[in-house]
Amino acid sequence: MKYLITGASGLIGKKLVNKLLEQNACINILTTNKNLKSSNKNINKFYWNPELNKIDSNCINGVQIIINLAGSPIAQLWTKSSKKSILLSRTNSVKLLNQIILEKKSKIDHFFCASAIGIYKSDNSYTHSESSQNTSNSFLGNTVSKWETSCEKLKEQKINVTILRIGLVLSLNGGLLKPIALSVKYFLGTWFGNGGNIYSWIHIEDLVDSILFLLNNNKTGIYNLVAPNPISSKLFTLEISKVLNKKILFPPIPLFLIKIITGPMSELFLFSQNVSSKKITAEGFNFQYKSISSALNNLLK
């Protein structure tokens, strides 16, 4: 089996590539880095730049499965240009891949595209399944919605499409966990407001394994990739303090202060989505880290 992977240098991509290489897979990688040398004989690198609509169409040769994880970081200052980059790096990546599939008449069996639970409205009283229509009319919500909509053209070509709605990824190599753990370690840990906003999280190992599960079982459609037990931001911080054996001394930060300081970006800090993983578990996937305590003990000890 030959794969084409975008976003291979990111948090998820690196671990996914390594697991596929363990299965002796052949992988083509699209990268914005013009240094295309590879130390692994099973990896071939090709240059692209989705925001500039540039792509080496040879990347598609012999490929059966595409895994698209591309996208510029959400956690950056939201200037007009960065917001444009956040959107275009996602929608243009799908558009370019679809374009070369058409041009080269490639026989792609399956297209996996990263997405995010940010599509769902922040609402503590609502549990979001994959069929939830309670979506967010925010910058993140609209970005994710356009990202997913860009995949519709692939379905028109009779390509199987799987949308991966990824939650808060727990890893020490990126994401939210490391800065929060460091703040707790140095007695600066706290939460915002009453800490009631819900984190739907997933351990990095479970995330990559769930993607491989969907791939190996030829699953299509939308899947929430989150652990079965979401947790409030307050309890999340307290669990970290318990694992690190550090007290929380810093008072909660008032919501109005976050909104004043960060403006529209406050949704990054105050998001609250209670998201269900029942669909993927009902289809046979077994999470290794179902509780936040098991995940944090694995990552922080």
In a domain, 248, yes or no: no
pLDDT band, residue 54 (cuts 50/70/90): very high
Q: Please, are residues 287 and 280 in contact by the beta-carbon 8 Å criterion? A: no
Percent pLDDT > 90 in the chain is: 88
Q: Please, are residues 219 and 162 in contact by the beta-carbon 8 Å criterion? A: yes
pLDDT tens for residues 17-35? 999 999 999 999 999 999 8
pLDDT band, residue 301 (cuts 50/70/90): confident
pLDDT tens for residues 187-208? 999 999 999 999 999 999 999 9
The encoded tokens of residue 24 equal: 């002796």
- Listed in sequence order, the residues at least 6 apart from 244 whose beta carbon sits closer than 8 Å to its beta carbon are 181, 184, 185, 300
Count of structural domains, the chain: 1
The encoded tokens of residue 212 equal: 């491989």
End-to-end Cα, the chain, rounded Å: 37
- Listed in sequence order, the residues at least 6 apart from 134 whose beta carbon sits closer than 8 Å to its beta carbon are 120, 121, 123, 126, 128
> Bridge-partner residues for 120, per DSSP?
135
In a domain, 108, yes or no: yes
Q: What is the pLDDT of residue 203?
A: 98
Q: What is the pLDDT of residue 51?
A: 86
Q: How far apart are CA 92 and CA 150, in angstroms?
A: 8
Q: How far apart are CA 231 and CA 215, in angstroms?
A: 28
In a domain, 104, yes or no: yes
Please compute the mean of the pLDDT values over residues 209-234 and round it to a whole number.
98
In a domain, 289, yes or no: no
In a domain, 292, yes or no: no
Within 105-227, where are the H helices?
139-149, 152-155, 177-185, 204-216
Q: What is the pLDDT of residue 279?
A: 98
pLDDT tens for residues 275-292? 999 999 999 999 999 999
In a domain, 187, yes or no: no
Q: What is the pLDDT of residue 271?
A: 92
Q: How far apart are CA 134 and CA 12, in angstroms?
A: 27
Percent pLDDT > 70 in the chain is: 100
- CB count within 10 Å of CB 196 equals 13
In a domain, 270, yes or no: no
The identity of residue 45, as a single letter, is: K
Three-state DSSP class for 105?
coil
pLDDT tens for residues 231-273? 999 999 999 999 999 999 999 999 999 989 888 888 888 999 9
In a domain, 8, yes or no: yes
The domain containing residue 218 runs over which residues?
Answer: 2-170+201-226+276-284
pLDDT tens for residues 64-108? 999 999 999 898 889 999 999 999 999 999 999 999 999 988 999
Looking at residue 132, which CATH number applies to its domain?
A: 3.40.50.720
